[in-house]
A and B are shown apart, each in its own frame.
Chain A
Amino acid sequence: MVEQSIYPKDQKMVITTNQVNFFYGATQALFGISLLIPAKQVTALIGPSGCGKSTFLRCLNRMNDTIPHSRVEGEILINQQDIYAPGTDVVELRKKVGMVFQKSNPFPKSIFDNVAYGPRIHGEKNPRRLAEIVEQSLQQAAIWDEVKDRLQANAMGLSGGQQQRLCIARALAVGPKILLMDEPASALDPKATTRIEDLIGELRTNYTIVIVTHNMQQAARVSDYTAFFYEGNLIECDQTPKIFTNPREKQTEDYITGRFG
């Protein structure tokens, strides 16, 4: 269990996981993960490939449900609600817990329709309201000024960095409280990466963000808390400056200083 003491006393927690195990068939990928995710803070998950950080991230909005023969044990509470409880509306869950992937994946539709897609399937039909949501989401994703004059253009014509910010806008359009980001900048050039990192800094005012990244300097730059995973175990979670100056665990230090393995 991560100690509560690493957080300020009045810090509200949005996600609580208790002893989460995850299995891909007979292979166990996560071992008893107990972690708190603080509200309106950025929590970075780091660790070598195959350590379980992305698996854990995908448990948080039940993205792993689609994997055949996979199984979750333990408890994941989001705002005190067990998201794996029978009867949980997964569509409603993913509306609250949005996700941004490594590779930007805009639909082959107009910029407007990409962002309006979510609100539409959730039943929003009013064109004026849709236009408002699209503008607001694109503004929040810091791409509005670049696309406002070509909202009907095909999203596939945008640059990689713009496509990724469009995907963030699309995730924001359904009004999530939590954003999960799985290596959101790893396919982008340094300038586009900086824009995404700046954007994460702005979004944390209103959203709780959990980001998986292989880039440790990125974790250091954008996150408030960092959790280090290794071989399916949570080794250490602490305030990011503490992790990068004086981690408690030798394994963490060996990993972040590149002495690993």
Chain B
Amino acid sequence: MAKHMQHDIDKLKAKIIAMGEAVEDRVYQATLSVINRDPAKANAVIKGDREIDDMEVEIEEDCLKILALYQPVAIDLRFIVAALKINSDLERIGDLAVNIAERGVFLAGQAQFAIPFDLSAMVSLAEKMVTESIDAFINHDVRLAHHIRAADDTMDAMNREMYTQLKGMLTTDTDHVNNLLHVLSVGRHLERIADHATNIAEDVIYLVDAQIIRHTPELYDE
């Protein structure tokens, strides 16, 4: 029985890794479509979301099957609960990649316009956080999970900085108000992606330490 369950849990892990890699790539492609004014790439991300949705459903069904067949307890139970929540976070990250790609489609249709903010730093950090959150989950790495939580503060600071800069431009560069608002949205979406990576990190801490630290950051800072 334990072997059967372990086999199914291993398969589930592999699917979560695959989904993590897929959404990470979507975030990268979507942001690239904005920076490079590439509507084809943006549309590919939008169309490809169906695959992410299918992966999410499949992973959820696998988790339910393991719960029903093996009634896992202790670390195994916490793993499945964490997997279910991480699955939802990854799916939401996929949706946010679509939202970014939609901004890409819009901006590509506009007259040439220089993005007045370095989005690449934000996108690099968001991607890194997503990748590391999945690594932390697979390796039960609480230290890495804490680093991700710390990185979220950096992301929040970048987002605030972008907001301040763009706010100033909105009053001076009135020709590009619409474009600037779309760029602001991209930053917001990247910041939300980082939040989902942080949720995953918090689920890893629950998985390993059985401590629910959401909503109480001050109690569990490393």
Q: Which residues of A approach B to under 8 Å, CB–CB?
A: 216-217, 220, 244-247, 252-253, 256-259
Contact = CB atoms under 8 A, between A and B. Distances in A.
A259 B78 CA distance: 16
Interface residues of B, number: 12
Nearest to B3: A258
A245 B74 CA distance: 4
B82 to A, nearest CB: 12
Interface in B51-93: 71-78
Contacts of B77: 244-245
Determine the main DSSP class of B at the interface with A.
helix
B2 A258 contact: yes
A258 B71 CA distance: 11
17 contacts: A216-B73, A217-B71, A220-B73, A244-B73, A244-B77, A245-B74, A246-B74, A246-B78, A246-B210, A252-B74, A256-B73, A256-B74, A257-B73, A258-B1, A258-B2, A258-B5, A259-B2
Contacts of B72: 257
Interface string B119-153: 00000000000000000000000000000000000
Given A256-B73, A257-B2, 10 more contacts: A216-B73, A217-B71, A220-B73, A244-B73, A245-B73, A247-B74, A252-B74, A257-B76, A258-B2, A258-B5
Contacts of A258: 1-2, 5
Contacts of A253: 74-75
Determine the main DSSP class of A at the interface with B.
helix
A256 B73 CA distance: 7
Contacts, number: 30
A6 to B, nearest CB: 16
Contacts of B76: 257
Contacts of B71: 217
A123 B107 CA distance: 95
**Could you say which of B74, B77, B78, B210 has the most chain A C-beta atoms within 10 Å of its C-beta?**
B74
B2 A245 contact: no
A40 B181 CA distance: 65
Contacts of B74: 244-247, 252-253, 256-257
Contacts of A246: 74, 78, 210
A148 B77 CA distance: 44
B76 to A, nearest CB: 5
A256 B74 CA distance: 8
Contacts of A247: 74
Nearest to A216: B73
**Could you say which of B1, B5, B75 has the most chain A C-beta atoms within 10 Å of its C-beta?**
B75
B43 to A, nearest CB: 45
Contact of B75 (A216, A217, A220, A257): A257
